[in-house]
Structure 1
């Protein structure tokens, strides 16, 4: 779906809702000064303070977090959660396709039949190839369904085509949240496919988290904001989530919204990069960095931080890969290590900084996630979860091809021309 947007971008800013510009990071000077004097592990406290300052929301203790390392694990957790729902299910997904979406529709209808309230938000563009009959079947069965930014009467193109709901979120009974990069799409079934098959027919590598505990209330708040902004039928706010600890994890929910000139996820990540003192390990399904992000990564590498990024070696958007490769030079020269994942279509969106600040969510390292999309991430603090993230990162690095500065400089003319062409529309990729 995503690879058609650059073509439409050429039709002009009137269609696309205006030109994109990246916000400035705005890390406070006192925290930057404190970075130099912070002892081992002190960066995490600085990043936490900055994150709470940006969002106005606290990090909450007492949560349980399970790392879901691929599509089958996530689909299993989603299925179990839906089957176990007693009172309410809220679901939000960019894609909701005919095959996987059809199976989840059956689960949601079964939950509704046993008396569970069910609310669904899907993106009009992400699910454009899904039949209206599937969503009508859900509505007929009592599920409240909201289409995010509809394409308009008779499927006409809307004025703000680029403002999409890229979130993937499930809330159950106000006690459990599952979020990350996994869409309700058949590509996450990870059935074996032949080498060289179309990316949409290959196995995809993604990451989600299953969260229980007090922080679920923050995720519920963001769901309700989207529901109301999209004029969904009236539904009640979630009851207050009990503060009784169910685990030992400290977590914060953060969002990025298309109507926000200073998207929280982007600012939070930039502050984590600027305050890091040991390591920055990023995994992303789309890498087309803004100038501020590229500068922050290069600056961190130059001050001795181990900066490594795992990006796709193949994708459903060849233009996004080309635009990202155009940025490799300055990063490699600064000492950033770049790895292109092989054997899977990489779609995960994760970060781990100094081994103890971790992010898992829907936001990529690109313009679209920065200035256009509705996104949501979970931020998890602590070395225990950070260690799991580092293990997953090392697994992806081992399955990747590292791009050296020498190899990048030796690339052919055809690749260079593709990079130039993709860079012309990089804000829309």
Structure 2
């Protein structure tokens, strides 16, 4: 059975949610915070969030978290250590190191798993760990990994690795296939104690060889991307998302392992990891981001690979700039998908006129999906600012509260800014008619890009 690709899913109206709520919050404005031993007292929770507010010298968190608490009761997780990983080399080094130290299990979920280069190296390492008695569970997306030999995954299965394909392209394999529903998540969980997510797939495009990049994408530019490492109680949230995906896809039965071990505090960072799926009544990643933009008081710094925003997001960015918030977007100057590049540019005029500053990243193919707001609310994940991420894909984003991680994000943003060219409003209006036509054509297909 093949489902239609012309679905009519729509995004929620955040103002209606703000007015009505959905009954999941506690209704008293208190913030739910949990640690390694469970929920903290209201007094302790308020103390932690008051500290975060004072560090950032902004009232964003109080207003934003009060709103989010009314949307859902998922607690914030305290007691974590986080690390920002910039680009493929640092990400793979950290992930490989963690995999080598695994003692119980390794859960890996990815949109793209390329066999060549890094994928081959990772495959050999996973086989080694499986032979040592560490259970390896791997989920990959059918479309994202379409170019990878089926024999490669079969060889992993033969070595005892649990392998599951998300929405197999072949409908004869007994699962309902939807072309639009893709598993765009990137999740690695090791021993239930450390989790990774971001924009980085298992792919040779992140290697140093421009020749390898050009082979897959048609562009010789290096790829610029971001991942996050989370150690501590919040690793449980990565695990819950992975195991839920595994169950929903009716994957092979998992070996009995200690998937939810007791995890001691590893730091003081406050984290929330959210997953989203077309099955959800409300896309929490979308609402979390939109609420943070609406409640921003100082700055919105966004680095985004695919930027095809819905009207609510466009209005939120414009309104923020018009009320004096510094809104800066770093977007691609080249892309592996031409239509998304021109669709993004179709929004430039109205954003520029509202005072939003737009920069195009040079010398790299931008694939990062990160935002830092008021220096204290940050997100790193797989979700782009587009209809595909918010309506059609399974996605995952980690939100980190606090100035320490916010400062790391600001430094990464500044580095991208220094390698970018600012879009001048006057010069932008002089662009060619050919490019305007391309923008209009791409915009027509925004819902499906």
Give the TM-score taking structure 1 as reference length.
0.91
Equivalent residue for 2:301?
A: 281
Question: 1:271-420 counterparts in 2 under 5 A?
Answer: 271-420=291-440
Instruction: Tell me by how many angstroms 1:48 deviates.
Output: 2.9
C-alpha distance after superposition, 1:144-202 (max 9, x if no partner):
11100110247999752010000011000000101110000001113356999955543
2:125 corresponds to which residue?
107
By relative contact order (CA 8 Å, sep 6+), the higher-ranking structure is: 1
Give the whole-Å Cα distance in 2 for the aligned partners of 1:231 and 1:299: 44
Query: CA–CA distance in 2 between the matches of 1:112 and 1:73?
Result: 24
Corresponding residue to 2:63 among 46, 61, 73: 46
Q: Aligned partners of 2:233, 2:139: CA distance in 1, in Å?
A: 23
Query: Out of 228, 231, 234, which is 2:250 matched to?
Result: 231
C-alpha offsets along residues 54-105 of structure 1, whole Å, 9 cap, x if unaligned?
Answer: 3421111110101101111111111111111110000000000121222211
The 1:150–1:352 alpha-carbon spacing in structure 2 relative to 1, beyond 3 Å, is same
The separation in 1 between residues aligned to 2:202 and 2:313, in whole angstroms, is 30
Secondary structure, counterpart of 1:406 in structure 2: helix
Q: CA deviation at 1:220?
A: 0.7
Contact 1:119-1:145 within 8 A present in 2 as well: yes
| Structure 2: distance between partners of 1:52 and 1:60 | 14
Of stretches 151-160 and 115-124 in structure 1, the one that deviates more from structure 2 is 151-160
Distance 1:271 1:213 in 2: 26
Change (3 A) 1:90 1:243: closer
- Structure 2 CA distance for aligned equivalents of residues 405 and 66 of structure 1: 36
Gaps of 5+ in 2: 22-28, 30-52
After TM superposition, the runs of 4+ consecutive aligned structure 1 residues lying more than 4 A away are 153-159, 192-201, 236-239
SS of equivalent residue, structure 2 residue 82: strand
> Structure 1 residues 325-334 or 54-63, which shifts more?
54-63
Distance 1:237 1:194, change over 3 A: closer
2:69 corresponds to 1:57: no
Count of matched residue positions in the alignment of Structure 1 and Structure 2: 412
- How many angstroms does 1:209 deviate by? 0.8
Q: Which runs of 5+ in 1 are unaligned?
A: 1-12
Alignment correspondent of 1:220: 239
TM-score where L is the length of structure 2: 0.87
In the alignment, the residues of structure 2 paired with residue 112 and residue 157 of structure 1 have an alpha-carbon distance, to the nearest angstrom, of: 27
Verify: 1:118 aligned to 2:108, yes or no.
no
- Superposed displacement of residue 403, structure 1: 1.1
Q: CA deviation at 1:241?
A: 4.3
